[in-house]
Structure 1
């Protein structure tokens, strides 16, 4: 029997442009340069995965993950490169596959796709799509993406784009099969779909991590009912680490409160008591010392059985120096401790 794969840890970003106290957003040019430096440092420090997500809003710098990841590929050596996420509902699966197959060639076989429906809806009117077909778009286009991955040429007929007949889709990736993960925010049907399809799953943890345990169980049950082996589960969480717990929380609180206020208006800006609760031992926010982060990852692993953890970094206008130090600590203090504890 082969040894289990090592527990993987990485970072990701949406390239958010949180406004400062004067209401001025971070400059998109500066943020893009920051993001590429995060990728270089993560790669050099030994992290496993680097991801960028997709938004089509003025307060985010990244609308094309494949382009940013290709730039990161040219400046890194080992780290895997993934979208977090590709909004497949409003994208052409043929173009998505071509872009990420090209990224795979550029990076020497390090590309992955994370497909999702997206937490925001701005891409639907932008690309001329109707919101009432939200689920239909994703189901239809995910099926085509997976068929393109597994077959070439491809013959396909669906409801959301023109049919394909014996169509070649090029180039093909360096990897034998381009990895496709599904991102789930809390919908049972989405977790069950990933299990039935045999796709690895990301759980975007907000709120209480323990409430996602039934989704992980449903995912594994659905895979078993479909005759598939247990797939991989990844967890994504908001993150900041410093050498001491109090230092991390004092540094991060004003930035994170600003971030939540801007991106989750129904929640509003966090007060300090709510922040401390979210960052507590059973909360979803990772903000503390390396030892605290290790302990929380291991607890979540007991609850969810995940084998990949992606930390969302650079939130709320946090300084570049602080963000880079946090990335380095994640790689040099957290990752080896988690692997040692899990015997991997």
Structure 2
């Protein structure tokens, strides 16, 4: 079966070499649900995360959506997932901080991290959240003009998670007060990711020591509409200023749909999905010249070959492959099974259950 998209055109050399194997494999879900029966959809998401752990995936990531029929509270879903799993890392990709109170969010994230045994990897964006005009007045009915929605919001959140003082410790009668956000979860502040779409935000993430999430939508800033070369340049710019240099962690999120064990009906459904989105690829959209990555459809061997030719993929050794929207639960089971059983190994990955991975101590 021919793969659904052409190979990336970029031939720029990778800063890390094309032979680097895939060390960490994750998946990303939007967690869709029927508004008439929201529990069923959330249960399906939790079962998918549990299934991912059984397959040996290193991480499961949750999209964050407001006023939509997808996950609106990933922190709550991570809390539930943490009690049904024991090894898989749980992340958000991404939580828009413009809709959050950093102090309260720090309390929630630290609580879930403690409950999970140190497996939480929150990812964030700053600035105006997507579709913010639909709900901004519900959050800031009188104070929106006074709110600062930029990078400082994330720096404050990290400060709270580090345990920096926010008040005075002491006693008031029989009550005891801490000077920091409680509970405190050591190491959580070092596991924060930033979702960057352009060079400026990627460099800011690097300069400030955050991990980098780069997705299937980025800004085209190198004068071409080639997604892969633009993404590779952003990753290299990030590592050039990060304190850890080439060791700085970057996770790439692309949509991949392996068909090794798919039925003919599933293959047709996947083809329709990919075809419905193909027109946006290779075109710069809007004033920011946003570029969309092509969805990769085919056998695991075909997808692995195309990824090895992808300039962005050659810069990373961990991924969070995005599950397509609007498919059926059995489709996600098939796709995850083929990713873990065929595509990941074809890229050099070994399941976490084979690595003997322990999460009582977070990954560096």
- TM-score over 0.5 for the pair: yes
Runs of 4+ with deviation above 6 angstroms: 129-134, 275-278
User: Where do 1:71-110 residues align within 5 Å?
Assistant: 71-110=80-119
* Closer, same or farther: CA 283–54 of 1 in aligned 2, 3 Å: closer
1:190-242, CA deviations, whole angstroms, 9 ceiling, x for partnerless residues?
1111010011101112372232122112212232xxx5533111111223222
Asked if 1:191 is matched to 2:223, the reply is no
SS at match of 2:245: coil
Q: Answer whether contact 1:56 1:63 (CA < 8 A) is retained.
A: yes
308, 317, 320: which is aligned to 1:310?
320
Q: Answer whether contact 1:294 1:337 (CA < 8 A) is retained.
A: yes
- 1:123, distance to aligned residue in structure 2 (A): 4.6
Taking the aligned partners of 2:342 and 2:130, their CA distance within structure 1 comes to 32
Q: Answer whether contact 2:59 2:88 (CA < 8 A) is retained.
A: yes
* Closer, same or farther: CA 153–78 of 1 in aligned 2, 3 Å: same
Partner of 1:37: 47
Taking the aligned partners of 1:154 and 1:311, their CA distance within structure 2 comes to 38
- 1:80, distance to aligned residue in structure 2 (A): 0.2
Taking the aligned partners of 2:300 and 2:333, their CA distance within structure 1 comes to 15
User: Where do 1:274-293 residues align within 5 Å?
Assistant: 274=279, 284-293=294-303
For structure 1, which runs of at least 5 residues remain unmatched after alignment?
18-23, 156-165, 258-268
Q: TM-score, normalised by structure 1?
A: 0.76
Partner of 1:112: 121
SS at match of 1:201: strand
SS at match of 1:10: strand
- 1:98, distance to aligned residue in structure 2 (A): 1.4
SS at match of 1:300: coil
1:105-141, CA deviations, whole angstroms, 9 ceiling, x for partnerless residues?
111111111011344324533311777788x413121
Asked if 1:250 is matched to 2:268, the reply is yes
| Structure whose alpha-carbon radius of gyration is higher | 2
Q: TM-score, normalised by structure 2?
A: 0.72
Partner of 1:161: none
RMSD: 3.4
Asked if 1:234 is matched to 2:234, the reply is no
Partner of 2:31: 15
Partner of 2:288: none
Aligned length: 302
Higher relative contact order (CA 8 A, sep 6+): 2
Q: Answer whether contact 2:95 2:124 (CA < 8 A) is retained.
A: yes
